[in-house]
Amino acid sequence: MMRGGTIRLLIWVSSAFCFLFGSLGFDPVDNFLIDCGSPTNQTVSNRVFLADGSYSAVLSPPQKIIAKINSNSSSSIDSDVFQTALIFTEASSYTFPISKQGRHWVRLYFSPFVHNSYNMSQAKFSVSAQTFTLLKDYQVEGGFIIKEYILNVTSSSLVLTFTPSSNSFAFVNALEVVLLPDELIPEGARAIGSKETEQSLSQLALETVWRVNMGNKTVSPQNDTLWRFWDSDYSYLRYEGVATYVSKPEAVNYSASPTKYIAPSSVYGSATMLDTKKESRMIANLTWNFDVEHGFKYLVRFHFCDIMSKPADSVIFKVFINDLSVSDSLDLKNLTSDVLGRPYFMDVIMRASDNPTMNVSVGPYSKDGAYLYPITILNGLEIMKISNSRSSLDVSLSNSSKMKLGVIVGLAVGVFLAIVLAIVLFLFYRRRGRARAIHSKTEVVMVNAEEGKDNNGTAMFSASKIGYRFPLAAIQEATDNFSENLLIGVGGFGKVYKGVLRDSTKVAVKRGAPQSKQGLAEFRTEIEMLSQFRHRHLVSLIGYCDEKDELIIIYEYMENGSLKNHLYSSDLRCLSWRKRLEICVGAAKGLHYLHTSSEKTIIHRDVKSSNILLDENLMVKVADFGLSKTGPEIDQTHVSTAVKGSFGYLDPEYLTRQQLTEKSDVYSFGVVMFEVLCGRPVIDPSLPREEVSLVEWAMKRHQNGQLEEIVDPRLAGQVKPDTLRKFGDVAAKCLAGRGVDRPTVGDVLWNLEFVLQLEGNDGRSDHASPVNNLETSTVSTAELSMGSVGDIAGVSMSKVFAQMVREDMR
Ligand SMILES: *[C@@H]1O[C@H](CO)[C@@H](O)[C@H](O)[C@H]1NC(C)=O
Ligand SMILES: *[C@@H]1O[C@H](CO)[C@@H](O)[C@H](O)[C@H]1NC(C)=O
Ligand SMILES: *[C@@H]1O[C@H](CO)[C@@H](O)[C@H](O)[C@H]1NC(C)=O
Ligand SMILES: *[C@@H]1O[C@H](CO)[C@@H](O)[C@H](O)[C@H]1NC(C)=O
Ligand SMILES: *[C@@H]1O[C@H](CO)[C@@H](O)[C@H](O)[C@H]1NC(C)=O
Ligand SMILES: *[C@@H]1O[C@H](CO)[C@@H](O)[C@H](O)[C@H]1NC(C)=O
Ligand SMILES: *[C@@H]1O[C@H](CO)[C@@H](O)[C@H](O)[C@H]1NC(C)=O
Ligand SMILES: *[C@@H]1O[C@H](CO)[C@@H](O)[C@H](O)[C@H]1NC(C)=O
Ligand SMILES: *[C@@H]1O[C@H](CO)[C@@H](O)[C@H](O)[C@H]1NC(C)=O
Ligand SMILES: *[C@@H]1O[C@H](CO)[C@@H](O)[C@H](O)[C@H]1NC(C)=O
């Protein structure tokens, strides 16, 4: 599994070996460089690999076969150390005299060729050093490979043994044993994703499996302080579209720690960053994927160096491995004492999951939905495999052992599953029993509490009761004690479950994550907002629960889930263009009601396609008022507040100035409109760079008059050019940079109604759209399409609007 990587580690060999000068400066006391089988010394990257017989290591038994590559055979590798090899037909050991104890590098060079009857591509052998198995029944696949190991040598010699597998032989082209600078490998590191928080490494061996320089640049050994090769991150980066490569090696400023041995300035001086120019939109993780081997732990070293920020900027971001957080808020400025260009590295130990890919990510820091710092950066990454409990860095995967392993694993898994099942069943029944007991107790209390309020005791948990305070037991019953099977969503606030009340009313149950204080505020806001406002296009509150430490809100259940789901995240039937327009109209009505129905404007603050829900008739309702805020008083023009909301939808003006107006909702709504038109996510890092951000992409196409190219392909033939243009104009207006340039939701609504008119009545009419019932004959389509956003003041349109508003204000 490691092989692909190791080969990549070596691509430099053919091109780089001819350089003679490098930034050396490191002169270790133990420094054995051996060109096996060679009659002459070879100089490689300013280092001399000694000929057989010239070195002080002892080979025993001394018998071996000296092989030299046939000069007639065409070899793609012109490195001199790969031209010769030693072949061992029995177990053979090199003994290196060690003058200083501590971490040493053992590097093994393999480049198979054919020598007489020895075809080295077929050689199969194991290599061990001290008590560690470095390679087990290993066969070199492909051209050439350098394997790199790190061993803590605690005696006065290091013994390296090559053992041929049965009926085979071993070989090696060159090898290195080199003492490392003390600071290079720590004695232990923080562990994540396991019980221990700290793990010692001092007794363990390591193998470098990935060594990557960020910034789309390889670093060759002669440009490294310790002759390491750093591969370019290009082929590991998952989504190139969100990345920017930067290089500024002169900005690197070393201090006492870390030294340039940790990584050279060519590594710290280049980086891959999230695109800073578009920080308001490029909210995504930068992720690199690496193959790892299940069953092993890995030491992952992150190299950071802030070579880009301005002195006043904070540089804070998040770091993940797989889905686990390595750092919630890595404050690089703080960690480097505010010295620009000072390197910083961080080690963590992580066990490989079942998944053969390890995903390393850095992502923007966010707090309460706000993304405040523009710089997210990674400069280098090293991934080292840690020897397992059997002191091995390799597990043999020969067929027979694989099968045996399979049987054992199968058995183990079977037994394990049986035990787990038994435990789960036990807990389940115990819990159910307990829940039942609790329920019957609280029920009595409830009935009593009910009496004062409502004589109709039978409809106890009825949907008709607004703002009703539910007992926890009733909610547990409705959701099968928050069964994961009933989970329908997970949001910032917590999890959302489907539930069924006693009277068969289906409900959506939003259960707050227990810890957050901030959650409490949002919880209150949401209940207040919901009980205050009732509208056909706003999701209604059924009740809530604040018993014990629970914060639970119960809403009407929306059978058809979110608009987002229907647009692109499932294989649900595709919504027709007409249906999509009707949904936009409905959502705009809901928002319009929020903005206008009371003296104070209510700003939703989190308008997005996943908060626009559809009931069983595809009637639309806006949901999630947790972030809602009362808007400005008459004499103010904005509410100043911490930035909250969802990325991709956030008003850039709000983001930069933290000023909230109802026009922020309009911006978000414009984003939703383009989502509806294009049927794709707001940020899709998997797309080519210029298409990653829906807003940028759609705005560009709109400006160039190429909107038809970005219409959801599933709508082919459904969207009339007139309506497309009009719809695009409205959406683009909503996305104006300045709030004052955006239309009001009322304007948007009016224009959307108009677009629906333009579409004509040939589609299925729907109750969500009162406009369908009005005659449109007085104004011709052509006349109307002349107008631009906000200025279609045709009499009949005003009539439409007035009627619609009246209807909705009820
Ligand atoms: C290789 O270099 C070593 C050390 O400089 C020297 O002792 C030895 O004689 C050289 N061997 C050959 C074959 O040149
Ligand atoms: C290399 O090729 C030449 C002729 O092409 C031949 O005479 C010579 O024996 C070959 N050498 C080896 C080592 O095979
Ligand atoms: C050596 O072995 C490899 C792999 O088994 C094979 O592809 C290759 O043809 C062999 N070469 C010779 C000269 O037999
Ligand atoms: C090497 O092992 C020795 C003895 O166990 C230990 O004291 C030392 O800290 C280890 N060195 C490193 C770099 O882990
Ligand atoms: C990154 O490197 C790859 C391969 O060397 C190259 O094809 C690509 O154009 C580079 N990208 C940038 C943005 O420099
Ligand atoms: C070393 O890096 C510098 C700049 O980073 C570059 O100009 C030089 O060509 C590199 N040298 C080698 C041998 O790669
Ligand atoms: C490097 O950092 C030191 C502080 O550690 C500072 O005094 C010095 O000016 C910096 N050098 C450069 C070139 O910025
Ligand atoms: C980054 O990845 C983490 C872990 O997978 C995830 O929780 C987070 O939402 C991602 N951030 C963004 C902006 O996509
Ligand atoms: C890593 O990302 C890939 C997608 O590129 C995904 O298939 C895989 O499950 C992820 N691995 C882990 C351990 O999360
Ligand atoms: C880093 O953060 C710690 C804790 O917040 C603080 O005490 C320290 O002064 C900060 N250091 C710098 C250089 O900002």
Mean pLDDT, the chain, as a whole number? 78
* Ligand 10 neighbourhood includes 515 CB (under 6 angstroms): no
Which ligand is closest to the CA of 32, given by its number?
1
Which ligand is closest to the CA of 272, given by its number?
5
Ligand 9 atom with minimal separation from the 359 CA: 1
Q: What percent of the chain has pLDDT over 90?
A: 39
* Ligand 3 neighbourhood includes 142 CB (under 6 angstroms): no
Which ligand is closest to the CA of 203, given by its number?
4
Sequence-separated (6 or more) residues with CB below 8 Å from residue 657? none
For residues 466 and 720, which has the higher predicted lDDT (pLDDT)? Answer: 720
Give the torsion sign (CA, 60, 62, 65, 68).
Answer: positive
pLDDT digits over 469-519, tens only? Answer: 788 888 888 898 888 888 887 766 678 899 998 888 889 998 876 655 556
Say how far apart CA 146 and CA 132 lie, in whole Å: 18
* Ligand 9 neighbourhood includes 355 CB (under 6 angstroms): yes
* Ligand 6 neighbourhood includes 213 CB (under 6 angstroms): no
Examine the residue annotation and report whether 606 is marked as an active-site residue of this protein: yes
* Ligand 10 neighbourhood includes 339 CB (under 6 angstroms): no
What's the Rg (C-alpha) of the chain? 33
H helices present in 305-377, as ranges: 332-335
| Cα of 326 vs its chain's centroid, Å | 13
Catalytic residue among 224, 275, 306, 606: 606
- Ligand 3 centre distance from Cα of residue 71 (Å): 18
- pTM score, two decimals? 0.66
The residue to which tokens 């889905």 are assigned: 323
* Ligand 2 neighbourhood includes 166 CB (under 6 angstroms): no
Write the CATH number of the domain with boundaries 563-764. 1.10.510.10
- Ligand 2 centre distance from Cα of residue 81 (Å): 22
How is residue 516 written in tokens?
Answer: 């957050």
Say how far apart CA 1 and CA 7 lie, in whole Å: 11
Say how far apart CA 742 and CA 330 lie, in whole Å: 37
Say how far apart CA 346 and CA 460 lie, in whole Å: 57
Extract the runs of DSSP E, i.e. beta strands, from 56-131. 58-60, 65-68, 84-88, 92-97, 102-110, 114-115, 118-119, 125-129
Q: Is 437 left (phi over 0), alpha (psi -120 to 50) or beta?
A: alpha
Which ligand is closest to the CA of 68, given by its number?
2
Extract the runs of DSSP E, i.e. beta strands, from 28-101. 31-35, 42-44, 47-49, 58-60, 65-68, 84-88, 92-97
Say how far apart CA 54 and CA 50 lie, in whole Å: 6
User: Using an 8 Å Cβ cutoff, are 148 and 178 in contact?
Assistant: no
C-alpha distance from residue 152 to each of 28, 95, 171, 187 (Å): 15, 15, 25, 10
Among candidate residues 554, 556, 557, the one with its CA nearest the CA of residue 526: 554
Rounded to an integer, the average pLDDT of 251-269 is 93
Say how far apart CA 334 and CA 6 lie, in whole Å: 36
* Site to substitute for ligand 9 among 289, 326, 350, most atoms within 8 A of C-beta: 289
* Site to substitute for ligand 8 among 242, 320, 647, 683, most atoms within 8 A of C-beta: 320
Residue 324 has pLDDT above 90, yes or no: yes
Atom 13 of ligand 3 has which residue's CA nearest to it? 114
Say how far apart CA 104 and CA 114 lie, in whole Å: 32
C-alpha distance from residue 91 to each of 35, 125, 169, 703 (Å): 19, 9, 9, 73
* Ligand 5 neighbourhood includes 693 CB (under 6 angstroms): no
Considering 115-119, 146-150, 283-287, the range whose residues carry the highest mean pLDDT is: 146-150
Q: What percent of the chain has pLDDT over 70?
A: 74
pLDDT at 645: 60
Residue 6 has pLDDT above 50, yes or no: no
- Ligand 5 centre distance from Cα of residue 216 (Å): 6
The DSSP bridge pattern shows strands 468-469 and 541-545 to be parallel
pLDDT digits over 327-363, tens only? Answer: 999 999 999 998 999 999 999 999 988 888 999 999 9
Residue 86 has pLDDT above 70, yes or no: yes
How is residue 58 written in tokens?
Answer: 């002892």
pLDDT at 313: 81
pLDDT at 276: 59
How is residue 492 written in tokens?
Answer: 């910032």
Atom 6 of ligand 6 has which residue's CA nearest to it? 223
Residue 362, H or E segment: strand 357-364
* Site to substitute for ligand 7 among 339, 340, 342, 344, most atoms within 8 A of C-beta: 339
pLDDT digits over 663-701, tens only? Answer: 989 999 999 999 999 999 988 888 888 888 899 999 999
- Ligand 8 centre distance from Cα of residue 157 (Å): 48
pLDDT at 570: 67
The residue to which tokens 């694989």 are assigned: 402
Question: Is cis: bond before 61, omega within 30 of 0?
Answer: yes
The answer to whether 510 is a known ligand-binding residue is yes
Say how far apart CA 147 and CA 160 lie, in whole Å: 14
Atom 9 of ligand 1 has which residue's CA nearest to it? 54
Dihedral pair phi/psi, residue 566, rounded to 5°: -70, -25
Atom 6 of ligand 9 has which residue's CA nearest to it? 357
User: With respect to CATH, is domain 188-386 assigned 1.10.240.10?
Assistant: no
Sheet holding 541-545: strands in order across? 468-469, 541-545, 552-556, 506-512, 494-500, 487-490
pLDDT at 531: 73
Rounded to an integer, the average pLDDT of 541-545 is 83
pLDDT digits over 178-232, tens only? Answer: 999 999 999 999 999 888 889 999 999 999 999 999 999 999 888 898 989 999 9
Q: Quick one: fold of 6-179? A: Jelly Rolls (2.60.120)
- Ligand 6 centre distance from Cα of residue 270 (Å): 13
User: Using an 8 Å Cβ cutoff, are 111 and 74 in contact?
Assistant: no
pLDDT at 440: 31
Q: What is the DSSP letter of 275?
A: -
Please work out, in degrees rounded to the nearest 5, the angle formed at the alpha carbon of residue 778 by the alpha carbons of 776 and 784.
75
Sequence-separated (6 or more) residues with CB below 8 Å from residue 145? 3, 6, 7, 9, 10, 109, 110, 111
Domain boundaries defined on the chain: 6-179, 188-386, 400-435, 446-556, 563-764, 768-810
Considering 50-64, 300-314, 642-656, the range whose residues carry the highest mean pLDDT is: 300-314
Sequence-separated (6 or more) residues with CB below 8 Å from residue 371? 279, 283, 364, 365, 643, 647, 655
Query: What are 319's strand-pairing partners?
Result: 327, 362
The DSSP bridge pattern shows strands 65-68 and 84-88 to be antiparallel
* Ligand 5 neighbourhood includes 216 CB (under 6 angstroms): yes
Q: Burial, 453: exposed, middle or buried (Cβ in 10 Å; 0-12, 13-18, 19+)?
A: exposed
Among candidate residues 43, 51, 131, 48, the one with its CA nearest the CA of residue 86: 51
Dihedral pair phi/psi, residue 800, rounded to 5°: -55, -50
Atom 7 of ligand 9 has which residue's CA nearest to it? 357
For residues 400 and 211, which has the higher predicted lDDT (pLDDT)? Answer: 211
Ligand 8 cavity residues, CB under 6 Å: 283-285, 320, 323, 361, 363
Lowest-confidence region among 196-210, 471-485, 707-721, 788-802: 788-802
pLDDT digits over 427-464, tens only? Answer: 544 444 343 333 332 222 222 233 333 333 222 223 33
pLDDT at 541: 81
pLDDT grade, residue 535 (50/70/90)?
confident
Say how far apart CA 475 and CA 435 lie, in whole Å: 11
Residue 547 has pLDDT above 70, yes or no: yes
How is residue 145 written in tokens?
Answer: 């490979």
Which class would CATH give 446-556?
Answer: alpha beta
Dihedral pair phi/psi, residue 369, rounded to 5°: 80, 0
pLDDT at 265: 94
User: Using an 8 Å Cβ cutoff, are 754 and 726 in contact?
Assistant: yes
pLDDT at 369: 61
Domains 6-179 and 188-386 share a fold: yes
- Ligand 10 centre distance from Cα of residue 302 (Å): 21
Say how far apart CA 343 and CA 341 lie, in whole Å: 6
